[in-house]
Amino acid sequence: MKKITFLVLAMAVSLFSIAQRVTDLPLIQPDVKTPEVFKAQTHHALQSRAIGDTLWSDDFSDPSNWKMYSGSGSAYSGHWVIQNTDNDAFGYNTGTIHSTTWQNGYAAFDADANGSDGMDTSDEYIEYTKPIDCSSLESVAIVGQQFGRKWQMTHVFIEVSKDSANWTAFELDPALPLSTIMTDTFFVVNISSVAAHEDSVYLRFHYKGGWDYGWCFDDLAFIQAPMYDLAGIIWNPISSHAGIYSEL
């Protein structure tokens, strides 16, 4: 036992002596570059809002917040509507959205019911009537729920503007197979390139196609997006409640 105690004491004295000699050496600063992702995350820590914080939301429960109109290329007599019906026949039997709050209203455009023949062209908009203040956000994403089905001419866009005259379009689900009813109805689109730091941001949805099926939207929100996601990437939620997303 005495031998073991003596050995431990001897090792401690040796380490202390080495530490003294090391501290006497000149300090050399390593030439290490900070990774870009780390810079972005460090910068994000200075922001007033956390990732996922909601700045604005709308669930279509008040139709007066929205206006519907046709583009110059539309041959349709019908527009987007706000409704709360469960209709299996909507969009040539595509059915309507079963979003979180569909029963108090959702936006819908029935391209099949509003068309009359294969030559029809749909160019329809639904626009939020008030500017949204995003001046407190360094990065902005729009999240929401959608439901629809594409045909040969179908293109659906989220469009964002700083002056309600010049719009930037973000196409939703460009790779969705034709005639396939979507099963993943949540979407997230980073709109920072247009909306970040802006005190007046305008929002609209644009359906462009022919005699197609139909599309629905509901439960929209502007949230604080990650600082390192600035490319207008469309994301799919891993969990619709946790707010965790993965890139497509």
43-81 residues labelled b (16+ CB within 10 A) or e (exposed): ebeeeeeebbeebbebbbeeeeebebebeeebbbebbbb
Residue 1 has pLDDT above 90, yes or no: no
**pLDDT value at residue 114:** 82
In this prediction, residue 154 has a pLDDT band, given cuts at 50, 70 and 90, of very high
Residue 2 has pLDDT above 70, yes or no: no
Higher per-residue confidence, 31 vs 152: 152
Higher per-residue confidence, 106 vs 2: 106
Number of C-beta neighbours around residue 171 at 10 A: 15
**Rounded to a whole number, what is the largest CA-CA distance in the chain?**
101
Residue 131 has pLDDT above 80, yes or no: yes
pTM over 0.75: no
DSSP code at position 142: E
**pLDDT value at residue 226:** 80
User: How many residues appear in the chain?
Assistant: 248
In this prediction, residue 47 has a pLDDT band, given cuts at 50, 70 and 90, of very low
**pLDDT value at residue 90:** 97
Query: How much of the chain exceeds pLDDT 70, in percent?
Result: 67
Going 66 to 69 to 71 to 77, the CA torsion angle's sign is positive
Convert the pLDDT of each residue in 73-116 to its tens digit.
Answer: 776 667 899 999 999 999 999 999 999 999 999 999 999 988 77
**pLDDT value at residue 118:** 62
In this prediction, residue 41 has a pLDDT band, given cuts at 50, 70 and 90, of very low
Spell out the residues 6+ positions from residue 208 whose beta carbon is closer than 8 angstroms to its own: 71, 73, 122, 123, 124, 153, 154, 155, 156, 157
Most confident region among 52-56, 178-182, 233-237 by mean pLDDT:
178-182
In this prediction, residue 227 has a pLDDT band, given cuts at 50, 70 and 90, of low
Mean pLDDT of the chain: 77
CB 213 within 8 A of CB 92: yes
Convert the pLDDT of each residue in 5-30 to its tens digit.
Answer: 343 334 344 433 444 443 343 433 33
In this prediction, residue 191 has a pLDDT band, given cuts at 50, 70 and 90, of very high
